[in-house]
Structure 1
């Protein structure tokens, strides 16, 4: 059975709603999984590189769980990656010590999916925003698994308990599906009901 490490890149889990729920559900749904919480392990941003080298080599799959922040990863997660991906560890001519391991992104987004389209406000998809992780995986000779997104997770949805439970359940099931098969059906993103409704309205309007 593959060993999984979930790295939480949320800057402050105490104030989190969605990421905290997803991590709790991952702990129940994913066997043989450990968790690293960067906000409590490295609140001063001083990464213990040797300690993390020793940690990463023990796992087959690394999942980065984080909220999209200014169309990218939070600063603490960026610092973690910058400090660890030295040439002689991850990206030397032989592939480094991460060679053959799998990398997945599990991402929460406050905005709706229609924002993250080439025709939307962001003018790009989240896959495009986060493509640097694909390059990092390639440089480290890792296998890049599909990203999993959950959209529309702004503060307004936090009080809608049933909707939040349903969407986070779907999100974790997508993660499970990818871990089991290496791919997901219908893409990695979990669309909230409002996005599905907007798409339907757009399709109906375009026919007139």
Structure 2
């Protein structure tokens, strides 16, 4: 069984993340989806409840839109509160050891903008080192991120193209989760 930590501040208006979550819900996978914006609109995250959810699952997927080269604020807050000393790390902090850590996110701008010569200057995977280090520090198995570009209406992408790409993304994620179970 996999745990999906959904961190989208405006999920109801999302084309990409909403399509991905709907595909996951309609899959045959045994999943628990926790929309942390719905659970904690005040950002007052219940560490014990979240830790209990983590303990129930072997695979943890972090589903979110890529914001300012990182994650939305609530997901950063979630990590700060939930991955606490002696739970996730420390001399007795091995509760996440050997669990799978799967980043899954959507990127607003084009793939060509995330190159050494592109507008963003770096490739997306270079912005993911903090995720890899978090998995390493907590003794989790880091799975390479699953993501796709072109989810911003402001950048000229259409809802149809976004949803088509999101369906492909969801299928990759479902295949990955199937292999990890």
Q: CA shift at 1:145, angstroms? A: 0.7
CA distance in 2, matches of 1:152, 1:13: 17
Alignment of 1:1-208 (within 5 A): 3-29=1-27, 31-93=29-91, 96-155=94-153, 156-159=156-159, 161=160, 163-181=161-179
SS at match of 2:97: coil
SS at match of 1:47: coil
Distance 1:180 1:31, change over 3 A: closer
Q: CA shift at 1:94, angstroms? A: 5.2
Q: CA shift at 1:181, angstroms? A: 4.3
Q: Which has the higher mean CA deviation after the structures are superposed, 40-49 or 20-29?
A: 20-29
CA distance in 2, matches of 1:168, 1:51: 30
CA distance in 1, matches of 2:143, 2:93: 18
Higher relative contact order (CA 8 A, sep 6+): 2
The answer for the alignment partner of 1:203 in structure 2 is none
Q: Which has the higher mean CA deviation after the structures are superposed, 72-81 or 116-125?
A: 116-125
Is the 1:11–1:38 contact (alpha carbons within 8 Å) kept by the matching residues of 2? no
Is the 1:25–1:172 contact (alpha carbons within 8 Å) kept by the matching residues of 2? yes
Q: CA shift at 1:83, angstroms? A: 0.7
Under a length normalisation based on structure 2, what TM-score does the superposition of the two structures give? 0.92
Structure 1 unaligned segments of length 5 or more: list them. Answer: 183-208
Distance 1:20 1:9, change over 3 A: same
CA distance in 1, matches of 2:122, 2:93: 30
Is the 2:16–2:163 contact (alpha carbons within 8 Å) kept by the matching residues of 1? no
RMSD of aligned C-alpha atoms? 1.5
Q: Once superposed, which parts of structure 1, at least 4 consecutive aligned residues long, lie more than 6 Å away? A: none
SS at match of 1:127: helix
Per-residue CA distance 1:164-190 (angstroms, 9 max, x = gap): 3431221112112323446xxxxxxxx
